[in-house]
C-alpha cells in the first residue's frame, strides 16, 4: 500500500493523545486507591494534561481531513456505524475528545464533588466517572482504529488481532512516555511512576510488534496471479497493464520503494520506537533531567512515524497481482 501521511499522522497523534489520557487517568485511579500519594496540583496536571491530549487528538483529526477527497462531506462518515469500523472511529474520536474535555474541565474548574464514598476512605469524585467514560472510549477508539485495518481480510499483513494490540500498546507506550516528560514539570512525584510504566509498555509493544513482524515474514499469500486471472499455468507474464501511464491502481497500492529501503525503515523504527526511548527513559529517571525525558518522547514519536509508514508499505494488496510490472 502507498503510505499516506495524513493517515500516518492521524493514527500516531491520536495514539499519543489516547495514551496520554490513559496515563493521566491511571495516575488518578492509583491515587484514589492510595497506591500513589494524593498529591498533585490537579489543575496543572490533570487539566493541563487533558488539554495537551485534546490538542494531539485535534491535530490528528485535522490530519485525517487531508485524507478525504471531499472533507466538507466528512460529517456523513458517521452514518454506517453498523457495518463500518471507519464509521465507528469517526464517532468514537469526537466522543472521546468530548469526554476528555469534560474530564479536563472538571479538574481545571475545580468542580469535582465527591459523589459517593466507598468503604471508609475512598471518595468517588465526578472526575473519576468522567475519566472512566473517557477510558472506555479511548479503548474503543483503539479497537476501531486497529479494526479498520484488521477487518480487511485479504490484506493478510493486517488481518490479525496483533494489529489491534499493536495500535493499543504503541499508543499507550508513546502516551506514557509523553506523560513522563509532562509530569516532570507538573507533578514531579509521579515522574518515576510514569517512567517505569512507559518502559514496561514500550517493551510490551516491542513484543507484540515483533510478533507481527515475525508473522508477516512467514505469510502464505492466498491469492496468486493464477487465481487473479483464472489461468492454471505456472508461467504467466504480463504484457500490458491496460494503461500507458500510471493509474489510481498503480499509485494507491504501491509504496514505490525498494525492498532494501523497507528493510532499513524496519530497523530504524525498531531502534527509534523501542531501544532508544527505553534507554533515554531509564537515563532520564536516573538523572532526573527533563530534556532527556522529552527527547525520549520525541525520538519515540519520530520512530512511530516510521513504524506507521512501514505498516502501510508492508501490506501487499492482492490487486497488485494485476499490475506485475509497477
Partner 1 sequence: MTQLALIIDLNVCVGCHACVTSCKEWNTSGAAGFLSDDRPSGKDPTGTFLNRVQTFEIGTFPDTETVHFPKSCLHCEDPPCVPVCPTGASYKRPQDGIVLVDYDKCIGCKYCSWACPYGAREVDEHQKVMKKCTLCVDRIYDQTLPEAERKPACVLACPTSARLFGDVHNADSEVSIAIREHAGYQLMPEWGTRPANHYLPRRKTRIQIHADELERVDNPLRKERQLPRPDLDEPSLDDATSW
Which residues of the shown chain bind partner 1 in the complex (CB under 8 A)? 1, 67-71, 73-74, 76-80, 83-87, 90, 148, 151-155, 222-223, 227-231, 233, 235-249, 252-253, 317-320, 322-323
- CB nearer partner 1, residue 75 or residue 218: 75
Identity of the residue, 110 or 242, whose beta carbon is nearer to partner 1 in the bound complex: 242
CB-wise, 216 or 249, nearer to partner 1? 249
In the complex, the smallest distance separating the C-beta of residue 9 from partner 1, rounded to whole angstroms, is: 15
Nearer to partner 1, 108 or 320 (CB): 320
* Min separation Cβ 310 and partner 1, Å: 17
102: Cβ contacts below 8 Å, ≥ 6 apart? 130, 133, 134
Comparing CB distances to partner 1, the nearer of 115 and 229 is: 229
Closer of 51 and 95 to partner 1 (Cβ): 95
Q: How far is the CB of 2 from partner 1 (least distance, A)?
A: 10
User: What angle, 0 to 180 degrees and rounded to 10, lies between the N-to-C axes of helices 161-186 and 126-150?
Assistant: 140
Cβ of residue 104: shortest distance to partner 1, in angstroms? 28
Q: Which is nearer to partner 1, 118 or 326 (CB)?
A: 326
Least distance in Å: CB of 77 to partner 1? 4
The CB density around residue 209, as the number of other CB atoms within 10 Å, is 23
- Tell me the closest approach of the beta carbon of residue 306 to partner 1, in angstroms: 21
**Torsion angles phi and psi, residue 241, rounded to 5:** -105, 5
93-98 LR contacts (CB < 8 Å, sep 24+): 93/14, 93/57, 93/60, 93/61, 93/141, 94/61, 95/137, 96/18, 96/21, 96/57, 96/134, 96/137, 96/138, 96/140, 96/141, 97/54, 97/57, 97/58, 97/61
Neighbours of 59 (CB within 10 A): 16
Residue 11 CB partners (closer than 8 Å, separation 6+): 60, 145, 167, 308
Integer Cα distance of 203 and 27 in angstroms: 20
Please report how close the Cβ of residue 80 comes to partner 1 at its closest, in angstroms: 5
Contact 30, 193 (CB under 8 A): yes
Handedness of CA 89, 92, 96, 102 (dihedral sign): positive
Considering the complex, what minimum distance in angstroms separates the CB of residue 262 from partner 1? 19
Nearer to partner 1, 87 or 127 (CB): 87
Q: Cell 529501503 identifies what position? A: 261
Q: Report the candidate in 177, 171, 181 with the shortest Cα–Cα distance to residue 96.
A: 171
Amino acid at each position: 500500500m502507498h503510505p499516506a501521511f495524513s493517515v500516518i499522522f492521524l493514527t500516531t497523534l491520536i495514539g499519543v493523545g489516547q495514551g496520554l489520557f490513559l496515563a493521566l487517568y491511571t495516575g488518578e485511579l492509583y491515587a484514589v486507591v492510595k497506591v500513589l500519594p494524593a498529591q498533585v496540583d490537579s489543575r496543572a496536571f490533570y487539566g493541563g494534561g487533558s488539554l495537551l491530549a485534546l490538542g494531539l487528538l485535534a491535530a490528528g483529526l485535522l490530519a485525517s481531513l487531508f485524507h478525504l477527497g471531499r472533507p466538507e462531506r466528512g460529517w456523513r462518515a458517521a452514518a454506517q456505524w453498523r457495518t463500518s469500523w471507519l464509521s465507528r472511529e469517526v464517532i468514537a474520536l469526537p466522543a472521546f475528545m468530548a469526554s476528555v474535555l469534560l474530564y479536563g474541565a472538571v479538574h481545571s474548574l475545580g468542580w469535582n464533588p465527591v459523589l459517593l464514598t466507598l468503604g471508609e476512605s475512598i471518595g468517588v469524585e465526578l472526575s473519576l466517572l468522567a475519566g472512566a467514560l473517557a477510558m472506555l472510549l479511548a479503548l474503543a477508539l483503539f479497537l476501531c482504529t486497529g479494526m479498520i485495518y484488521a477487518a480487511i481480510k485479504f490484506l493478510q499483513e493486517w488481518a490479525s488481532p496483533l494489529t489491534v494490540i499493536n495500535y493499543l500498546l504503541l499508543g499507550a507506550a508513546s502516551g506514557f512516555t509523553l506523560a513522563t516528560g509532562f509530569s516532570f514539570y507538573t507533578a514531579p512525584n509521579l515522574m518515576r511512576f510514569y517512567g517505569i510504566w512507559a518502559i514496561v509498555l514500550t517493551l510490551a509493544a516491542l513484543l507484540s510488534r515483533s510478533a507481527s513482524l515475525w508473522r508477516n515474514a512467514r505469510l502464505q499469500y492466498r491469492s496468486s496471479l493464477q487465481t487473479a486471472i483464472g489461468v492454471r499455468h505456472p508461467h504467466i507474464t504480463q504484457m500490458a497493464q491496460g494503461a500507458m501511464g500510471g493509474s489510481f491502481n498503480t499509485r494507491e497500492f504501491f509504496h514505490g520503494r525498494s525492498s532494501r529501503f523497507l528493510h532499513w525503515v524496519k530497523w530504524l523504527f525498531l531502534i527509534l520506537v523501542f531501544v532508544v526511548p527505553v534507554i533515554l527513559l531509564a537515563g532520564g529517571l536516573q538523572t532526573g533531567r527533563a530534556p532527556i525525558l522529552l527527547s525520549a518522547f520525541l525520538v519515540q514519536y519520530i520512530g512511530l512515524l516510521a513504524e506507521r509508514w512501514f505498516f502501510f508499505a508492508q501490506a501487499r494488496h492482492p490487486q497488485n497481482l494485476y499490475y506485475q510490472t509497477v
